[in-house]
Structure 1
């Protein structure tokens, strides 16, 4: 078996990342979900890391981040959405009146990310709203997207809308009383959506199509308050260093749940170890980092199995077929 020629700093970075994911048992029990950490707690500062973007950073509506759409012609942003500060809450609160129906959606599109917020319904115990993931195509009621339900008591349920499709849907009954602050954290990796409500993992939706798009917040008939809205994107290409021929390319690491049917590609870099640890702990806990086609066990040599990048950029697209070239990391 050929060995991948890595420089010493790169070997150290990859080995460190792999060690984060190889702890834990090899049984078939559902992966434990760790409590969400500082970036997703109810009291922490969402901007405590340069990896986290605060999507509600000031005292006015951030028009540079969000676009507004309403199902009612000639309606204005200010009539539905506003930012309030002061009172008993030190953090800015995004208030949505719920009328008319519509949403705000991020100007940027994302594929691999964590997105979190807190929400509550101040008056309506049957309040209804949701987070739209992978929002794509034209604006309408409702667009192609995957809705993470914030309607009590089904908060955390996930289902497609418009032309969106997935392998499964997620139905849930979880959430604190509507007037209390609740917390939702959504993790998206290559078309797999994982949802955590109030620190408890709800489940996953897989095989999502589309798997890239804007993130939107719904106005759906009830006044709803949002705060601590943050995003951690994993889409930006990051290199681990120079490989052969002094060309840079990302390196893929298999971070797998014991019940996963296919690898989940995650860029591992020497600059984002803390983010990787956070992502794996929130979504999978002490998941075993091996290819499930090897029976969820480490290689007999005791070294973790990693996959060669599909191709060098610039370079030819990898050849068709299912065979993959694996290399061992000492």
Structure 2
């Protein structure tokens, strides 16, 4: 009897340790401040009196849209699911989530080297190649003539998403899920698979959000390692 109890206790302890060691979801935005992030806003190099384009308001991370730039994680990430809840509270406009970000100001002296997942109203889920590349099915149909493809200024860097009508009406909250695993990226908007690419030229990097002309509110930026997902959610 004592032996059975000892075995049970050992199994219980082992299970507890295993559960505690399993990687868990991380809140990239803590709802209080911008700890874990830094701004790169080129216009502020010339005029330090400009307002910060990223603020915390009513427990939300807010991109004010101007001056234009990026809010970038201090940490580098790979193999994850990123869940983002966002809305345009006023006028529709442009914004994006950048994954696998690295060299700052690599494009137009503004955009960090990365792959952008577009959030622009009515275009959520497009890919934009920013000195990185990715391949998708029906590439010519969705990107244009092959000879015009590129990853730098003046080249066709936009890859259209797969669906229309996945976004909520203006003012309502949207959920965007981005899964990055090895050289693959999948994107869902409000449950619809809106883009899928592979052979990405980067598989890790920082994560960034943009200030690109329109005010956008974020109430969730949660990252879960792929290894922590259930079998249903794993690759």
Number of equivalent positions? 186
Residue 202 of structure 1 is matched in structure 2 by 194
The change in CA–CA distance for 1:77 and 1:216 in structure 2 (over 3 A counts) is farther
CA contact (8 A) 1:187 1:193 kept: yes
Which residue, 217, 221, 234 being the options, matches 1:229? Answer: 221
Which residue, 26, 37, 58 being the options, matches 1:66? Answer: 37
Which residue, 82, 87, 90 being the options, matches 1:115? Answer: 82
Residue 128 of structure 1 is matched in structure 2 by 94
Counterparts of 1:203 and 1:95 in 2: how far apart (Å)?
25
Residue 211 of structure 2 is matched in structure 1 by 219
Residue 104 of structure 2 is matched in structure 1 by 138
Which digits, 9 at most, give the CA deviation of each residue in 1:80-113, with x for residues without a partner?
111122xxxxxx2111110011011111111211
Give the SS at the match of 1:279.
coil
Gapped regions of structure 2 (runs ≥ 5): 1-10, 12-21, 137-158
CA contact (8 A) 2:104 2:110 kept: no
RMSD in angstroms over aligned alpha carbons?
A: 2.2
Which digits, 9 at most, give the CA deviation of each residue in 1:190-237, with x for residues without a partner?
010000101111130111012211110000001111111111134xxx
Matches within 5 A, 1:137-286: 137-139=103-105, 140-161=109-130, 163-168=131-136, 169-171=159-161, 172-173=163-164, 174-234=166-226, 272=228, 275-280=229-234
TM-score for the superposition, normalised by structure 2: 0.72
CA contact (8 A) 2:25 2:223 kept: yes
Residue 258 of structure 1 is matched in structure 2 by none
Counterparts of 1:225 and 1:77 in 2: how far apart (Å)?
20
CA contact (8 A) 2:65 2:213 kept: yes
TM-score for the superposition, normalised by structure 1: 0.52
Larger radius of gyration: 1
The change in CA–CA distance for 1:77 and 1:133 in structure 2 (over 3 A counts) is farther
Counterparts of 2:123 and 2:79 in 1: how far apart (Å)?
25
Matches within 5 A, 1:282-297: none
Gapped regions of structure 1 (runs ≥ 5): 1-8, 10-48, 86-91, 235-266, 284-330
Which residue, 62, 73, 78 being the options, matches 1:95? Answer: 62
CA contact (8 A) 2:31 2:60 kept: no
Counterparts of 2:135 and 2:191 in 1: how far apart (Å)?
25
The change in CA–CA distance for 1:50 and 1:167 in structure 2 (over 3 A counts) is closer
Give the SS at the match of 1:228.
strand
Q: Report the structure, 1 or 2, having the larger strand content.
A: 2
